[in-house]
Structure 1
Amino acid sequence: MTQHVELPPGYPVQWEADVVLRDGSVAHLRPIRPSDEAAIHEFHSRQSEESIYLRFFAPLKRLSDKDVHRFTHVDYEDRVALVLTLREDIIGIGRYDRIEPGSAEVAFNVSDHYQGRGVGSVLLEHLAAIAQEFGITRFTAEVLPQNRKMLTVFSEAGYEVTRKVEDGVVALHFDIEPTDRSKAVAMSREHRAEAISVSRILRPRTVAVIGAGRSEKSMGHHFLKNLLDAGFTGEAHPVNAKARKILGRTAYDTIADVPGPVDLAVVAVPAEKVLKVVDDCAAAGVGALLVVSSGFGEGGGEGDELQAELVRRVRGSGMRIVGPNSFGLINTDKDFSLNVSLSPSMPPHGHLGLFAQSGALGIAVLASAARRNLGISVFASAGNRVDVSGNDLMQYWIDDDETHAVGLYLESMGNPRKFSRIARNLGLIKPVIVVQSGVSSYGVPPGHRVRSTKVRPAVFAAMLRQAGTIRVSNVHQMFDVAQLLVHQPLPAGRRIAIVGNSAALGALSAGAVAGRGLTVTHGPVSLPTEATVEEFREALARAFDDPDVDSVLTCFIPPIVAHDEDVTEAVRMAARGSDKTCVATFLGMRGVDSSTSMDEGGTGQAIPIYAMPEDAAYALAKATKYAEWRKKDHGIPVAPAGINRRVAEDVVQTVLSVSPEGRRLDPDETAALLTAYGIEVWPSRKATSVEEAVAAAEAIGYPVVLKSTAPMLRHQGGVTGVRVDLGGEQAVREAWASLHERLSPLAAGQLEVQRMATPGVACVVTADEDALFGPVVSFGVSGLPTELLDDIAHRIPPLTDVAVSELISSVKAAPVLHGHRGSTPVHRAALADLIARVSVISDDMPEVVSLKLNPVNAHPGGVQVLGAEVTVAPVARRADPGRRSLT
């Protein structure tokens, strides 16, 4: 274990991060410490003369103690330095020094042995993000012309870089405010690195099973046997000091004795021995670990501590880990035939990628797929999910040609923002089916590291819809949908043809289709049960040839004249060569028609078969909705004009410097913050007497509104707590007397005066910072009935213009905004612009933990923000902080 290191004052622990490098290995990034002086000397001594000259413009064989002291003693604000370490050794250093209020000079030094692995890019990305926290907006750098690698780091980062050669040195200048291009570059690099790291796990050439025993009761024995029985194409080595031969293979005493490099080590030893095995694997240069041992976080107590130390050691050694408590991994690609799992049989090769967290569930999932004859490309069980997660597998599946659709069974989610981002990228090319009944602090399996959340399940559902995933309720539904998406073209529309041999079954099918929002445009055609195969073929041909049909649902009970196989063949022939979706209901059957499997040399698409019409209609509806999402315009990121982030940051930081625990902003602070983002809040004045109310009205200008400030009455409408359209002093006095008399018994007599707004629709726009989800923007139409009906829509920033529009339209009360019962529609563009600005605030500033605009008066001429409440507080770093990091 690492010795305890005393941290200097102000050491920013939140900057620490584990990152995946370009080759798929893991390194640890952290701020430099005074205790790093010896490590800096050691790092410098390993550098080549050329690297030293390119960094310091001089042949410094040894850095002076004075220079090293200056390098390692920083203030973590105006002078910042980061180091990237692997097995405690420094492999890269990046630093900036502020030279002007908004500008800093940046420099890097990368180990000769790790150049070309993206070390410089990672350091630049993190330094830029940190610099912006302190108001630095521009970096400068001086690079020798021959230092092409460092010049490439800057030029490929996505920033607009200007160059100028002076005295034989290239002077670089660039703004570090994230741009669409710089964000795209960072995300692309993250994707490639994480995909490669998973590829190294799923496509190993050498696998060692540590803990494989001679006894068939041994967990390691099962893993080794299943690996060999699957026909693994690489080298498989058991590691067991008490045996010489296991299953005919030479057993080695330790992992260090195994010949050649080991890509993947399966760890099947008691929990208390795992850390020693991890250290041995690190010393032997093992690429990744699959830990199947239990006894970690799922048991709590000491298991939690053991699990935390496990992931620290694994990542600190540059490895990745699946598990612990994992059911295993399977890759059916014939070039690997990898089965390091507890499944005794290899599932058939296919094109569905599966991810499950639970080991027990993994068995059920694979068994269900096998019963349906649904082939699998990759299966992964994350166990306690301390490192490799569904996000990592999705990164891999984006590029995996063998995977055409993805199924995820999620029992918890550690990083919803990153999940949403990656799932959207994957969903644009391959469907992602998610089984998740909900997300809450109460449903987290033991051993899973998950931040607590306060959001309602509706937010999780909205996040899945926003990412384009197909949400289902159980494994059966996941496979119902998957067998269609893997084997059939996506539906081109909602028009359905129904062909069968039973009027009752046809009617049932039509009802199921209509109930799922699809339209029957052909049929139901009901042939007699004694119909011949030729009659079946003709009816099916007419359905497929109908230009008003997008998908064909065939439904048959066992015919009297024709044999089942003859009917099945008729369906195959009709669907063959067609670009229309085809599903079949053969009562009592479920799965994929194996006789036409493309993997077996068939020339047509396999037909998904369902036991009941409702199942077929459900799958068709899910596939159709996904196809519509994939084809639609997803919009462009919102970028409202007139935003001054610096002013808003000053407001927040000023408040937190005085109130470190955070607090609700006063009206002036609220106005300043929102004005910086182009949001004007109508002023109001509190009045404790009728004379103050009259004076306030005259200062604001008539007509005015007099209303209660009591939370139980504000913004509820009606006449209980508000008097409107007061045109003069007498009206204000009468309104004051009326309200004071009514509200005093309720202790709600505090009143305020505000200018009378244009008649419109009262709405509410909120943004809340959640520990798990990050920023959540919500919208609804104000009013008690709407709130009781939970008619509130949610989205996760960053938003596009289309996402904002969908947010507005997704509430059930949306028709009142669009001219309900002949009223004039509100100014939708102005409302969308306001929501966009709120989304940008919430995305930019996690310290704004709560923002509520209520009421927002939307009317034909625009929007008026009549009330605003903002609370700020210090928050931990977001799970997806905007710079590459494993969380």
Structure 2
Amino acid sequence: MVEEDQDRDHRYPVHWEADVVLRDGGTAHVRPIRTADGPALQQFHVGQSERSTYFRFFAPLARLPERDLARFTHVDHVDRVALVAVTGHGDHERIIAVARYDRVEGRTAEAAFNVADDHHGRGLGSVLLEHLAAAARERGIRRFTAEVLPQNAQMLGIFREAGYEVTQHLDDGIVTVTFGLDPTERSLAVMADREHRAEARSVHTLLSPRAVLVVSDDHGAPLAEAVLASLTATDPAPRPEVHHVGPAQAPPSVRTWPRTADVPPVDLLVLAVRSTHARTVLQDPAATARAVVVLSDGFAETGTDGLTRQRDLVRTAHAAGMRLLGPGSFGFLRRTTDTTTVNATLTAHLPPDGGTALFCQSAPLGVGMLESARRRRLGVSTFVSSGNRADVSGNDLMQFWTEDPRTDVVALYLESIGNPRKFTRVARRLAAAKPVVVLTAGRSGHVVPAGHAIRRTRAPRQALDEIMRQSGVLRVDTPHQLLDVTQLLAHQPLPRGRRVAVVASSEALTALVAEAASSAGLTVTRRTTIPQETPTGTTDDLDTALAEVYAAQDCDSVVVVHVPVLGDPDPTTTACIAQRAAISDRTTVACVTGLHGVTEGLTAAAPDGRPHTVPAYATPEDGVLALAAASRYAAWRATDRGAPLAPTGVDRTRARALVEAMTPPAGEVRRLEEHHTRELLACYGVHVWQSRAVRTTPEAVAAAHEVGWPVALKCAAEHLRHRIDLGGVRLDVATPDELTDDLQEMRDRLIGLGVPDPTFEVQKMAPGGVACVVRTAEDPRFGPVVSFGLAGDAIDLLGDVAYAVAPLTDVDVSEMIRTVRAGPRLFGYRGLPPVDVPALEDVLARVATMAEDLPALHNLELHPVVASEGGANVLAARIELAEAGRADGPRRALV
């Protein structure tokens, strides 16, 4: 609940509150300090060692004087800000760290930090620095200073390692540290790396319990009985110690306790109780653990009250230092390198052990995914169902799987993506090391299943496609394809290219498979048909043909299709395929009657002695689609993804000051005046050609003399200013007489089109070239969506637009310009000279950088940008500002 000072002071920044994951995988809550925090702050201070107190106040101080206590807890959240990290809830809440700043002058503030002695080493100092810096930037502060004793090496290390450009000097026995707060490439990389390690550790904690407590009630007894059976069904393999509280019938190996207070310490809680009772269980001080799985439903999917219960449950879990999986989870499966199996799912029927990690959200999807993997005999290292994804999400699991030695390939079935920007960042890091296959609910990403509390979006349908492309993940269309692609990546080497050889048991099959391969973007370099005369003859001919195919250097992968007309396939035939593939380094897929998934018949020993399996597909087309996906991923892995954009001549400080001064109140959108638009764009090196607004003929002629002949005459009406076909534009006007005639003709034409008192713009003619449009829009879910297209029918009628989600690299920018279908016009089309594409890329890069830097940039449009042989000229621009709360901002938080 918000305390009395929040009710009185409307400036209390509720949005600064956040749950965070710490270095050891535990959680804490960060919030602004409250006036009611006096006793808790005094308790925090008294609990500190004499050394820690001296480091903070440069003097021994057994207790905080009442005057200082009041000053520390009464802040204005603008010039004086204090944040606290707390654990526990209600009467059990405890302050474990404090960070504060006091504005010294202008844009500079003095910062101070203090971390509880028993919480040192958990990364609280670096987390609070990120959050305090983010709050300071919001209040217009751009620089921190801090006074630190030279002996306080830990705090000095926090400042140095944060990634900011730090200066320090020693004066009178005190080190004064100074650093700017604008995020740098290094500071963002440091934050991302710390986030990665903390979240991976928290997931490892969840998936690796040594002791588990299952809590049930009458409502959840069936769920509890199912998960208890699963947890105890892994004998004789090592498994966790299992306890139970509640009415469910537990197996004999599980000890049932009358209450949670009697249970020995455990690492994992599994709740199978009514939604109205779940939070009560977590609030019990005896129900302590490192993580919790909630199998029950009845939360956000039921409506507003359920969403409130879900948020309260997550907040309670985080306050107790726990990550939460669910609600509505099917549970998780984890197999580790020491052969320990933790099966905390609702089924005892599992796929075999292997190197594939599976993730889904709702429980029904989990049932289908596990059963499909079991039927295919696809080996699984980890399976996780996040349910409503209230806390632990696919992003968290990807952080863990990046370093997990048991996982070779990751398959995700995502009903929704709550934080697409973070997904892009985390998935790209994972995909650089391991293949990632993704199925989404719907192509657009606009589907919001019941129970998923995510931000709304205005992004176009193509934005999610771009998210996937930037991330390097393989997107598929069906659950069937998800496992088709995954089984290939799990059992075969990546193709070295797109060249494919087809070996089939009939001419018709050979032709059909070759056509399917070509349609999927592969290049068929070899076709071989093996006639079916006798089983022995077929095997001998197949062995000879495969030996020749694998010996050749004209293919990167092989598709083998064997469909006998009479009877079942001869085992010697499948053994031949497996043996030839095992001694080759070529990617191979097979379609053999009666075989599907990972089979013994298509498994043989590789030269190093390890089993090598050719995955089997129900149809040749399925195998070809999987092979094409693997080829795309291999190409992505082999391609330079470029460097982060770093345009020269950018004045971020000036730009942010302008935006802060002009951003309207929350809920409003403000369109900037033309001179403000020019000024803001100039901060990023984008210069808009001057134009003059006119109404009369004398004004137009005078403006033309001022800007220089020849000129363009444009209607100022928004819907007509680019419409030559409707008479809204006249180009290459060379003389005053011509301008007078054109203006009168345009006036008459526009009045006839319903513009009673038209106004005009006069602008110097730009060099001839190709007109383009560059736009950005800040989306509540996706963040800054950048788009590029060629002006006119290509955009307006055909929707020929390339999208990307910032931040971008130079390669991303280059690909945007080259992927629009009308792009050939930029590179010399039908005898026209090519335009200055690097100059066009520079404009797009500057706009993308601007969009990434300024979340309040609600909409920006450069239309047209005329790309000519000698440059790219921005002839008109429009900017709208609005307050924005970007989901993936420059601070670590669980969102």
Other-structure match for 2:266 = 262
Contact 1:532–1:561 (CA under 8 A) maintained in structure 2? no
The one-letter code sitting in structure 2 at the alignment partner of 1:58 is A
Q: 1:658, CA displacement in angstroms? A: 8.5
Q: Tell me the equivalent position of 2:887.
A: 879
- Quote the offset at 1:712 in angstroms: 2.8
Per the alignment, residue 534 of structure 1 pairs with 540
1:654 Cα deviation from its structure 2 partner: 2.4
Instruction: Please name the residue that 2:462 is paired with.
Output: 458
Q: Are 1:523 and 2:531 matched, yes or no? A: no
The residue number in structure 2 matching 1:477 is 481
Equivalent residues in 2 for 1:489-638, closer than 5 Å: 489-530=493-534, 531-558=537-564, 563-595=569-601, 603-638=610-645
1:409 corresponds in structure 2 to 413
Q: Give the Å deviation of 1:572.
A: 1.3
| Structure 1 length-normalised TM | 0.96
Aligned to 1:29: 30
Change (3 A) 1:654 1:523: same
Per the TM alignment, residue 2 of structure 1 is displaced from its structure 2 partner at its CA by 8.8
1:753 aligned residue (749, 753, 762): 762
Contact 2:436 2:474 in 1 (8 A): yes
Q: Match for residue 867 of structure 1?
A: 876
Distance 2:637 2:29 in 1: 37
Shift of 1:14: 1.6
Q: In 1, distance between residues paired with 2:605 and 2:133? A: 49
| Cα distance change, pair 659–630 in 1 and its aligned pair in 2 (3 A) | closer
Kindly provide the amino acid, as one letter, of the partner of residue 297 in structure 1: A
* Structure 1 residues without counterparts, runs of 5 or longer: none
Partner residue, 1:51: 52
> For 2:329, what is the secondary structure of its paired residue?
coil
1:780 — aligned with what? Answer: 789
State, as a whole percentage, how many aligned pairs show the same letter. 46
Kindly report which structure 2 residues correspond to 1:712-731, keeping only aligned pairs within 5 A, or say none. 712-718=719-725, 720-731=727-738
Q: For the residues of structure 2 that align with 1:4 and 1:85, how far apart are their CA atoms?
A: 19
Structure 2's unaligned 5+ residue stretches are none
Q: 1:564 and 1:527, CA in 2 relative to 1: closer, same or farther beyond 3 A?
A: same
**Equivalent residue number for residue 251 of structure 1:** 256
For residues 662 and 536 of structure 1, the distance between their equivalents in structure 2, rounded to whole angstroms, comes to 69
Q: 8 Å contact 1:610–1:616 — kept in the other structure?
A: yes
Residue in structure 2 matched with residue 832 of structure 1 by the alignment: 841
Say if 2:203 is the partner of 1:198.
yes
- Is contact 1:493–1:550 with CA below 8 Å preserved after alignment? yes
Aligned to 1:359: 363
Structure 1 residues 842-851 or 141-150, which shifts more?
Answer: 141-150
> How many residues align structurally?
883
1:593 Cα offset (Å): 2.6
Cα displacement string for residues 385-435 of structure 1 (whole angstroms, at most 9, x for unaligned residues): 110010111111101111111111111111111111100000101111111
What is the CA distance between 1:246 and its match in structure 2? 4.6
**Aligned equivalents of 2:666 and 2:701: distance in 1?**
35
For 1:146-161, what aligned pairs fall within 5 Å after superposition? 146-161=151-166
Counterpart secondary structure, 1:767: strand
The residue aligned with 1:816 is: 825
Q: Deviations over 1:274-327 (max 9, x none)?
A: 1111112x5442111100111111111321221121112111221111111111
* 3-state secondary structure, aligned to 2:437: strand
Distance change in 2, residues 1:467/1:320 (3 Å): same
Query: Which residue identity is paired with 2:98?
Result: I
How far apart are the structure 2 equivalents of 1:570 and 1:487?
A: 17
In 2, Cα distance between the equivalents of 1:449 and 1:883?
Answer: 21
Report the 3-state secondary structure (helix = DSSP H, G, I; strand = E; otherwise coil) of the residue aligned with 2:616: strand
User: Is 1:70 the counterpart of 2:71 in the alignment?
Assistant: yes
* Higher deviation after alignment, 652-661 or 166-175: 652-661
| Alignment of structure 1 residues 439-458 onto 2, 5 Å | 443-458=447-462
Offset of 1:474 from its aligned partner?
Answer: 0.8
Equivalent residue for 2:293, pick from 287, 290, 294: 290
Aligned partners of 2:417, 2:668: CA distance in 1, in Å? 28
Matched, 1:768 2:777: yes
Residue by residue, what CA displacement relative to the aligned partner does 1:51-85 show, whole Å, maximum 9, x if unpaired?
11121111100111111222222232332221111
TM-score (norm 2): 0.95
Query: Separation in 2 of the partners of 1:23 and 1:66?
Result: 36
Counterpart code for 1:211: S
CA gap of 1:488–1:212, structure 2 versus 1, over 3 A, is farther
C-alpha distance after superposition, 1:641-674 (max 9, x if no partner): 1111222223222223699833111111111111
CA shift at 1:245, angstroms? 6.5
Cα RMSD for the two superposed structures? 2.3
The reply to whether residue 308 of structure 1 matches residue 311 of structure 2 is: yes
1:436 paired to 2:444? no
Deviations 1:229-251 (A, max 9, x none): 13373443343355896534220
CA contact (8 A) 2:775 2:862 kept: yes
CA separation of 1:660/1:370 partners in 2, compared to 1, >3 Å: closer, same or farther? closer
Q: 1:650 to 1:160 in 2, by over 3 A?
A: closer
Q: Match of 1:81? A: 82
- CA–CA distance in structure 1, aligned partners of residues 174 and 705 of structure 2: 67
Does 1:278 pair with 2:282? yes
Contact 1:769 1:849 (C-alpha < 8 Å) held by counterparts:
yes
SS in 1 for 2:763: strand
SS at match of 2:389: coil
Q: Which amino acid aligns with 2:886?
A: R
Shift of 1:785: 4.3
CA contact (8 A) 1:498 1:554 kept: yes
8 Å CA contact 1:237, 1:251 repeated in 2: no
Counterpart residue number, 2:401 = 397
Distance 1:599 1:526, change over 3 A: closer
Structure 1 residue 98: deviation in Å?
Answer: 2.6
Kindly state the Cα deviation for residue 824 of structure 1 after the two structures are TM-superposed: 1.1
- Of 853, 858, 862 in structure 1, the residue corresponding to residue 862 of structure 2 is 853
- For the 8 Å contact 1:212–1:246, the answer to whether it is kept is no
Cα pair 2:530 2:541 within 8 Å, conserved: no
What are the Cα deviations for residues 441-467 of structure 1, in whole angstroms up to 9, with x where unaligned? 862111111111111211111111111
Aligned to 1:697: 704
Q: 1:512, 1:617 within 8 Å by CA — same for their partners in 2?
A: yes
- Alpha-carbon shift at residue 602 of structure 1 (Å): 6.3
Q: Structure 1's 393 and 253: CA in aligned 2 closer, same or farther, altered over 3 A?
A: same
SS at match of 1:105: strand
The Cα offsets for residues 474-522 of structure 1, whole Å up to 9 and x where unpaired, read as 1100111001101100000011111122111111111111111111112
Quick one: structure 1 residues 725 and 637, their matched pair in 2 at CA, closer, same or farther if it must change by over 3 Å? same
**Structure 2 match to 1:322:** 325
Distance 2:780 2:17 in 1: 18
* Partner Cα separation in structure 1 for residue 859 and residue 127 of structure 2: 32
Q: Tell me the SS of whatever aligns to 1:821.
A: coil
After superposition, the C-alpha distances for 1:79-131 in whole angstroms (9 at most, x for unaligned) are 22211111121111112223243432221100011000000010112222232
State which drifts further: 70-79 or 836-845: 70-79
Distance change in 2, residues 1:253/1:28 (3 Å) = same
Which letter does structure 2 place at the counterpart of 1:40? L
Measure the CA separation in 2 of the matches of 1:2 and 1:651: 33
Deviation at 1:364, TM superposition (A): 0.7
Alignment deviations for residues 523-577 of structure 1 (CA, whole Å, 9 cap, x no partner): 2344444334232112111111111211111111127799531111111111113
The answer as to whether partners of 1:230 and 1:346 remain within 8 angstroms in 2 is no
1:299 maps to what in 2? 302
* Match for residue 123 of structure 1 among 125, 128, 143: 128
